Amino acid sequence: MNCAEFQRDLPLIIDTGGTEEQEDHLRSCEVCRDLVNDLRYIAEQAKLLIPMLEPSPKVWKGIEEKLKDQGLVKPVQVRRTL
């Protein structure tokens, strides 16, 4: 197991914990250890933030309409000017 292999499986390792081989690599490799610590920290912070970042659909609708009113959201233009 090298860093590339380890980091390829990183999301899974963060999510469900690593295999014995991955844990071994983690113990011997400072780079990946730092990476895992960082990602775990970010994941924790994200979990804390999710309740605030997910307003009800009604709120989203209101925001969307406000943005349209102000011309901040424009319909997507399909045709490209040449």
* CA–CA separation, 1 and 38 (whole Å): 21
Check binding of 39 to Zn ion (CB under 5 A). Answer: no
- Which residue in the set 1, 10, 14, 29 belongs to the binding site for Zn ion (CB under 5 A)? 29
Check binding of 36 to Zn ion (CB under 5 A). Answer: no
Question: Residue 39 class from Cβ within 10 Å (0-12 exposed, 13-18 middle, 19+ buried)?
Answer: middle
- What SS3 state is found at 17? coil
Q: How many residues bind Zn ion (CB under 5 A)?
A: 4
Q: Which is nearer to Zn ion, 3 or 49 (CB)?
A: 3
Check binding of 32 to Zn ion (CB under 5 A). Answer: yes
